[in-house]
């Protein structure tokens, strides 16, 4: 169970990372829409697990969409230290130590879509 402080820090990181992806990281990551769906912070506040959803912009075939999603995740992982630095600039006055960021693909929407198609059959 998360403490109140963990929840506050998670929401703060989620909001700031969303703005960073939207405004600052477009040239490095690409034109895909990246949404930070959830952030979980460890009890010692040293690690933040960041779950992101990636929506490719434009219409693409299914296989191309998966390739684009993987390339965006790779770009996020490659630029993780820069993303953490930008987060530190935004939250420098509120957090003493900026947590290490671990990025994961949130596939909840794909799972829901799969269940809906199964129910329609």
Q: pLDDT per residue over 50-103, tens digit each?
A: 999 888 765 555 545 565 778 888 888 988 999 999 999 988 788 888 999 999
Question: Which residue range forms the structural domain that includes residue 32?
Answer: 4-120
Q: What is the CATH number of the domain that holds 22?
A: 3.30.300.20
Q: pLDDT per residue over 12-55, tens digit each?
A: 999 999 999 888 877 667 677 888 999 999 999 899 999 998 88
Alpha carbon separation from 89 to 4, 22, 54 (Å, rounded): 23, 16, 25
Number of folded domains that form the chain: 1
Asked if residues 14 and 51 have their Cβ atoms less than 8 Å apart, the reply is no
């Amino acid at each position: 169970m998360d403490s109140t402080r963990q929840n506050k820090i998670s929401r703060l990181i989620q909001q700031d990372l969303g703005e960073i992806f939207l405004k600052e990281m477009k040239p490095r990551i690409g034109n895909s829409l990246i949404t930070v769906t959830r952030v979980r912070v460890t009890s010692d506040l040293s690690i933040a697990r960041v779950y992101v959803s990636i929506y490719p912009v434009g219409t693409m075939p299914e296989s191309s969409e998966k390739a684009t999603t993987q390339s965006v995740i790779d770009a996020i992982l490659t630029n993780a230290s820069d993303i953490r630095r930008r987060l530190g600039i935004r939250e420098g006055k509120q957090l003493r130590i900026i947590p290490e960021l671990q990025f994961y693909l949130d596939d909840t929407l794909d799972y829901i879509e799969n269940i809906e198609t199964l129910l329609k059959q």
